[in-house]
Amino acid sequence: MTIQSDKAKTALVTGGASGIGLASVTLLAQQGVRVAMNHLEDDPQGPEQIEKLRAQGFDVISAPGNVSVPGNAEAMVDTAISKLGGLDYLVNNAGIAGTRDPIPASELDRIDEDLWMALLNTNLIGVFRCSKAAAAALRASGGAIVNTASTAGIGLQGSSTPYAASKAGVVSVTRSLARGLAPDVRVNAVAPGQVATPWTASWPEERKQMALNKMLIKRHVQAEDVAQTIVYLLTGAPMITGQTIVVDGGMTVS
């Protein structure tokens, strides 16, 4: 069902073409929100997924751009806000792992400057770029931001030391943005554990099972599980700000 009116809420979801981003775009659209899906300009998944959603009657538009590139990120946000006619919700979900296989913390020689900069520019600074560019529109609407962190940002190793550091930075910048944009804009984060997405699909079954064994809820986290938490923090949590909500099936408390 699509709700289309002049009062429809609006959202921008970065990294929206797959995984948690796509699940968030879909759930928001299902609730009648007009959504701008950010995707890389050369990624065919973005237009393909938008076409599928629009065929179902949902109001989803394209917002191509790269959050890791100064100027490009801000231009993407500005264009999306202009097309939407304002902004109520921002989901800073775009992120990269930078490596297919985990790099143990002890293997320092496998971590170079290029990996550090790629991860920081996308996962951390990209969050700030987009939030800063959207701040005025979100203040005007009394809106909300949700950032995608990771359990790697709250003490677990993650795919590498730079990845964990970038996600720990997201937890920190979430608190800072919550302070800086208060009282007009709420800012929170989600910290997913191992999520069943296209990126993790090719992982060895042993690695997936190790995570499952640690979970209190004995099933893999789905992208839709994380999206439900994101949408709740955007639309249904008026007194929650500056917080990071872990979505990992109890893995970090077992």
Q: Which of 58, 89, 128, 163 is catalytic?
A: 163
The token pair at 191 is 């910290």
Q: How far apart are CA 115 and CA 66, in angstroms?
A: 17
Q: How far apart are CA 192 and CA 186, in angstroms?
A: 20
Give the C-alpha distances (Å, rounded to integers) separating 209 from 25, 107, 196, 200, 214.
29, 24, 12, 12, 9
Yes or no: say if 170 and 147 are a contact pair by the CB < 8 Å rule.
yes
Q: How far apart are CA 253 and CA 117, in angstroms?
A: 31
Q: How far apart are CA 115 and CA 163, in angstroms?
A: 9
Question: Taking Cα atoms as reference points, which of 251, 247, 253, 200 lies closest to residue 228?
Answer: 247
The verdict on whether 89 is a catalytic residue reads: no
Q: Are strands 89-92 and 144-148 parallel, antiparallel or unpaired?
A: parallel
User: For the chain, where are the alpha helices, taking DSSP H only?
Assistant: 19-30, 45-55, 72-84, 113-119, 126-141, 161-181, 205-214, 223-235
Residues labelled as active-site residues:
163
